[in-house]
């Protein structure tokens, strides 16, 4: 079976969906009867995955970097992605793909491909696209009924829908999915392959051993609720009673939130380290007393929750 995976993501980057795409490719490529081809954005470091042919769609410099979540840059990038997809499909007319595995919004491209080429598709559902758009841009709520209709159509036409959590499965079922297989995200903790940090978190951020330590790991996009986190810290007046370390984010986001922490008078209680390799995640989480997930948007379970649970530490999360 020849399978084309459409993954409109930078590949490879150590963040949610690209990590899930890599894990899926590594598993699917082990099937001797399956020939895997994956199409991604032309951004991110190149990695070798045995028995997987990797293709990339053109990504203009003015659209880089493609950040997590929905954005106008991602929507424009998807136009180039659409043309590259159909270039691949036209080029494979004589030995056409048997199946398309569509990740996130590429399901709409897969739906068009089915209408033209008759290729069935599976919908890898990592989020509710209509909800994601309406939460990102308030003006889009005017067309929310239309977006839900489009979502319903592509879900009903898929041979199978693979949501990553129960909340998304409920949406897919409500839209009339023909076959539903929940495939939960997994923990990224690998204790055997873990690489210790050069310095412990407490040493790096100068947090005394006697203070309780709370840790957040992930990107710092607005939907992650870092604003809520900082405002909550200000309410609790942690100075001298505890410390919070925020791991991840771009330089732009880190600078913004450092300024916000300073304006709230909590700069001494919050540290921003920037991104850390996934291989250091076991040692990082092991140092925490409390793990934080303050996300304010979306109904899909954050991938970090599974690693948090695996660590055995207490978790404070928003109830979405």
Band (pLDDT 50/70/90 cuts) for residue 199 is: confident
Query: What average pLDDT does the segment 280-284 reach?
Result: 93
At 135 the pLDDT is 83
Q: How confident is the model at residue 222 (pLDDT cuts 50, 70, 90)?
A: very high
Quick one: pLDDT band at residue 167, thresholds 50, 70, 90? very high
pLDDT tens sequence across 107-122:
999 999 999 999 999 9
Percent share of the chain, pLDDT over 90: 79
State the pLDDT at residue 195.
Answer: 81
Fill in the DSSP letter of residue 29.
Answer: T
Checking if the pLDDT of 46 tops 80, the result is yes
Nearest-angstrom CA–CA distance, 281 and 279: 6
Q: What is the pTM of this model?
A: 0.86
Q: In the predicted model, what is the mean pLDDT of residues 146-172?
A: 95
pLDDT band at 270 (very low <50, low <70, confident <90, very high): very high
CA contacts within 13 A on the Cβ side of 65: 13
pLDDT at 299: 86
- Give the mean pLDDT of 64-86: 94
Give the tens place of pLDDT for each residue, 118-135.
Answer: 999 999 999 988 888 888
> What percent of the chain stands above pLDDT 70?
100
SS3 content of the chain, % helix, strand, coil (to 5): 45, 20, 40
For residue 241, pLDDT over 90 is answered with no
Instruction: Quick: pLDDT tens for 179-193.
Output: 999 998 889 998 777
**Rounded mean pLDDT, 99-108:** 97
**What is the predicted pLDDT for the residue at 94?**
86
CA 6 remoteness from chain centre? 15
Residue 4: band (very low, low, confident or very high) from pLDDT cuts 50, 70, 90: very high
On whether the CB atoms of residues 12 and 44 are closer than 8 A, the answer is yes
Q: What average pLDDT score do residues 95-101 get?
A: 96
Q: Listing from the earlier edge strand, what are the strands of the sheet with 290-293?
A: 270-274, 243-247, 213-217, 290-293, 314-317
Instruction: List alpha helices for 1-71, DSSP H.
Output: 16-28
Contacts of 206 (CB under 8 A, 6+ apart): none
pLDDT at residue 284 tops 90: yes
**Residue from 67, 296, 306, 124 nearest 315 by CA:** 306
> Taking all residues of the chain, what is their mean pLDDT, rounded to a whole number?
93
Mean pLDDT of 70-96: 94
Q: Is residue 6's pLDDT more than 80? A: yes
Question: What pLDDT is stored for residue 78 in this prediction?
Answer: 97
Confidence check: pLDDT of 47 > 90: yes
């Amino acid at each position: 079976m020849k399978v084309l995976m459409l993954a409109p993501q930078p590949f490879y980057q150590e963040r949610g969906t690209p990590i899930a795409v890599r894990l899926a490719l590594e598993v699917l490529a082990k099937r001797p009867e399956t020939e895997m081809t994956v199409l991604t954005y032309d951004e991110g470091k190149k990695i070798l995955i045995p028995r997987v042919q990797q293709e990339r769609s053109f990504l203009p410099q003015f659209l880089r970097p493609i950040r997590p979540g929905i954005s106008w840059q991602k929507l424009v990038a998807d136009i180039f992605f659409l043309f590259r997809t159909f270039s691949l499909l036209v080029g494979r007319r004589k030995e056409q793909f048997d199946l398309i595995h569509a990740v996130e919004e590429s399901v709409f491209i897969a739906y068009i491909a089915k209408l033209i080429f008759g290729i069935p598709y599976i919908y890898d559902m990592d989020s509710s696209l209509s909800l994601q758009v309406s939460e990102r841009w308030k003006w889009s709520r005017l067309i929310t009924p239309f977006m839900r209709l489009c979502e319903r159509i592509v879900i009903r036409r898929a041979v199978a829908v693979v949501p990553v959590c129960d909340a998304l499965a409920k949406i897919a079922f409500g839209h009339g999915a023909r076959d539903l297989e929940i495939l939960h995200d997994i923990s990224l903790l690998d204790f055997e392959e873990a690489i210790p940090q050069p310095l412990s978190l407490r040493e790096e951020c100068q947090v005394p051993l006697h203070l309780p330590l709370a840790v957040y790991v992930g990107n710092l996009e607005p939907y992650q609720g870092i604003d809520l986190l900082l405002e909550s810290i200000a309410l609790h007046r942690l100075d001298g009673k505890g410390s919070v370390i925020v791991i991840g984010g771009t330089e732009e986001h880190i600078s913004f939130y450092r300024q916000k922490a300073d304006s709230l008078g909590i700069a001494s209680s919050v540290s921003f380290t920037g991104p850390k390799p996934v291989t250091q995640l076991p040692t990082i989480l092991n140092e925490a007393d409390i793990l934080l997930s303050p996300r304010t948007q979306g109904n899909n379970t954050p991938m970090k929750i599974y690693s948090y649970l695996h660590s055995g530490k207490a978790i404070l999360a928003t109830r979405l």
